[in-house]
Amino acid sequence: MKNYYELNEKTVIEYVNNKLDFFAEDAIYECKEIGDGNLNLVFRIRDTKNDKSIIVKQALPYVRAAGEDWPLDINRGEIETRILKLEHDLTGGLVPEVYLFDGDMFCMVMEDLYDYKIMRYGLMDFEQYPKFAEQISDFLVKTLLLTSDVVMEHKKKKDGVKSFINPELCEITEDLVYTEPFHIGARNNVEESIKEYHETQIVNDKELALEVAKLKFDFMNNAQALLHGDLHTGSIFVNQNHTKVIDPEFAFYGPMAYDIGALLANLIMNYISTEARCEDEELKRKHKEYLLQTIKDIVNLFKSKALKLWNEVVTDKMAKTPGFKEFYVNDVLVNTAGVTGCEMVRRTVGFAHVKDLDGIEDDIKRAKAKMDNLNLAKIFIKNRNEITTGEDYLKLIEKYL
Ligand code: SR1
Ligand code: MG
């Protein structure tokens, strides 16, 4: 931490120019801190004269959303840089290009995705992305299957487990996703109108707690593949033609289901919020239809692409046993439904919420949306053994919402 200082909109310009030969001599700078995540500072620096821009992401030694009382491993940017480079190669560019990582300043300098939009905000504006399901299912299958034991030489895979060990960020997930939302706790954020519902329907449900405990220890003990680790719609940039996944600082070797479930949950929460937030009935109908189709496609495409790629890339002799690939993918999908439910619960009553639900202005509609969300989440967790196809998701969404 000797040479570390927190950057601001002024100092970051000089910082970048000392590190990289990117901007022209005659550049006219515009700089804005655009980070709205829970952890880091993110700056966009633009040269308006030559129309060039760059992103600088700096890790803080504490959780930004909580303040200095919640310290956090500052070295997370190093893991993020390594996984972004790896994912860039595995997926043929479904993540941004990293230009530089500076281990003194814990800063990453990368490609600016200025003609993309953060997916959460796009979906909240009821936009549709027709190529998303195809591209994100590619991302999931390639990053997950190709980093797993069924494909990788086993000692190399174990080296990966070691080099992507990420205890502090994993602990955040263990606490904020798999523990605290299922108890009454100081870091939870439960709005008054749903406090009773939370207590009676979530905290007091012992059957639910048992299922969540099983999922928690799967998250902690199943070093199946190299995960993104926080694949919500705020970690994805999209436009009509392309998808770029960002922010894999929670990366580690864990269960594939964690990435797929986090994504599905965030699409479902956008679906639930659309009912309350969209005033134009025709737009609402179309957006919900688009979301259902996307959810269905992601699950089904993940399954079909994983089974197809399996035949081309699997190296383990026992993994080639007839019937094993179907067993393996089915197991991933069962746990995916469980993770979907846990993510939906934690984003409603845990420390870190989503704007989709919190942004519903009407108090009554917001409370209803959150209770609907919790109710559906429980079904996903408890009935996960029967939820393994896109159609299964749609049936439940249509039945309970
Ligand atoms: C203390 S960090 C809270 C949440 O923000 C990140 O994006 C992760 O989702 C984490 O759980
Ligand atoms: Mg993030």
Q: Give domain limits for the chain.
A: 9-111, 117-400
Domain made up of 117-400: CATH architecture: Alpha-Beta Complex (3.90)
With a 6 Å cutoff on the Cβ, whether 265 touches ligand 1 is: no
Q: Atom 8 in ligand 1: which residue has the minimum CA distance?
A: 230
CA of 240 relative to ligand 2 center, distance in Å: 23
With a 6 Å cutoff on the Cβ, whether 94 touches ligand 1 is: no
Give φ, ψ of 125 to 5 degrees: -90, 10
With a 6 Å cutoff on the Cβ, whether 38 touches ligand 1 is: yes
Q: So what's the ipTM on this one?
A: 0.99
Q: Over the stretch 164-193, which tens digit does the pLDDT of each residue have?
A: 999 999 999 999 999 999 999 999 999 999
CA of 352 relative to ligand 1 center, distance in Å: 6
Token pair, residue 102, equals 């500076």
The DSSP output letter for 44 is: E
With a 6 Å cutoff on the Cβ, whether 169 touches ligand 1 is: no
**DSSP letters for 86-107:** HHHHHHTSSSPPEEEEETTTTE
With a 6 Å cutoff on the Cβ, whether 337 touches ligand 1 is: no
- Residues 6 or more apart whose CB falls under 8 angstroms from that of 305 comprise 137, 138, 141
- Residues 6 or more apart whose CB falls under 8 angstroms from that of 14 comprise none
- Find residue 31's DSSP bridge partners: 45
Q: Where are the alpha helices (DSSP H) in 246-280?
A: 257-277
Choose the residue to mutate in 175, 176, 188, 266 for probing ligand 1, maximizing ligand atoms within 8 Å of C-beta. Answer: 176
**DSSP letters for 296-342:** HHHHHHHHHHHHHHHHHH---TGGGSTTHHHHHHHHHHHHHHHHHHH
Query: What is the three-class DSSP state of 33?
Result: strand
With a 6 Å cutoff on the Cβ, whether 342 touches ligand 1 is: no
Choose the residue to mutate in 39, 263, 354 for probing ligand 1, maximizing ligand atoms within 8 Å of C-beta. Answer: 39
Query: Based on the number of CB atoms within 10 Å of its own CB, is 393 exposed (0-12), middle (13-18) or buried (19 or more)?
Result: buried
CATH topology of domain 9-111: Phosphorylase Kinase; domain 1 (3.30.200)
Residue type present at position 26: D
- Residues 6 or more apart whose CB falls under 8 angstroms from that of 115 comprise 239
Rounded Cα gap, residues 12 and 361, in angstroms: 36
Token pair, residue 27, equals 């550049």
Rounded Cα gap, residues 259 and 238, in angstroms: 18
With a 6 Å cutoff on the Cβ, whether 230 touches ligand 1 is: yes
What are the residue ranges in the chain where pLDDT is below 50? none
Report how far apart, in Å, the C-alpha atoms of 158 and of each of 5, 219, 254 are.
35, 17, 12
CA of 38 relative to ligand 1 center, distance in Å: 6
Q: Tally helices (H) and strands (E) across the chain.
A: 14, 12
> Can you give the C-alpha Rg of the chain in angstroms?
21
With a 6 Å cutoff on the Cβ, whether 37 touches ligand 1 is: yes
Query: What is the three-class DSSP state of 193?
Result: helix
Q: Atom 5 in ligand 1: which residue has the minimum CA distance?
A: 38
The DSSP output letter for 18 is: H
Rounded Cα gap, residues 362 and 85, in angstroms: 43
With a 6 Å cutoff on the Cβ, whether 176 touches ligand 1 is: yes
With a 6 Å cutoff on the Cβ, whether 374 touches ligand 1 is: no
With a 6 Å cutoff on the Cβ, whether 293 touches ligand 1 is: no
Q: Which ligand is nearest to the CA of 40?
A: 2
Q: Which ligand is nearest to the CA of 118?
A: 2
With a 6 Å cutoff on the Cβ, whether 354 touches ligand 1 is: no
Q: Over the stretch 71-89, which tens digit does the pLDDT of each residue have?
A: 999 989 999 999 999 999 9
Query: Based on the number of CB atoms within 10 Å of its own CB, is 240 exposed (0-12), middle (13-18) or buried (19 or more)?
Result: exposed
pTM here is: 0.98
CA of 234 relative to ligand 2 center, distance in Å: 7
Q: Which ligand is nearest to the CA of 76?
A: 2
CA of 35 relative to ligand 2 center, distance in Å: 10
Q: Which ligand is nearest to the CA of 350?
A: 1
Q: What is the pLDDT of residue 2?
A: 84
Token pair, residue 371, equals 């209770």
